[in-house]
Amino acid sequence: MTLSTQLHGQTSHQCYIPQMGRELTQRELRNNSGEIMRALDRGESFLVTRRGVPVGELKPVGRRSRVSTRALLDTFATLPPVDRDRFRTDLDEVVDQDPTPRG
């Protein structure tokens, strides 16, 4: 059975770890790392097994979205100014700030 067939078939361990979509043997992980990395880039997840026993999970890392500096500055420019005294009063109401030095 090729990795492509294995990657697109059902897994025997889905009932144990439902979020992992595909079973992958240790040997397949070693021999087909490039194809597996491309599958991870596409958002696919894997359950890695050794001798049929689940030993780990491979899943894509969440992508971070980026906001341009210009868009961020434009957004900040539309916000109302901060009243420092009111901010301090609001903060003091919810946070216990004991000014006594610890020694």
* 93 vs 9, higher pLDDT: 93
Domain ranges of the chain: 3-58
pLDDT value of position 93: 86
pLDDT value of position 19: 54
Class of domain 3-58: alpha beta
Q: If you average pLDDT over residues 55-84, what whole number do you get?
A: 88
Q: Tens of pLDDT along 9-55?
A: 444 444 444 455 789 999 999 999 999 999 998 889 999 999 999 99
What's the CA gap between 3 and 24, in Å, rounded? 8
pTM to 2 decimal places: 0.44
What's the CA gap between 3 and 32, in Å, rounded? 8
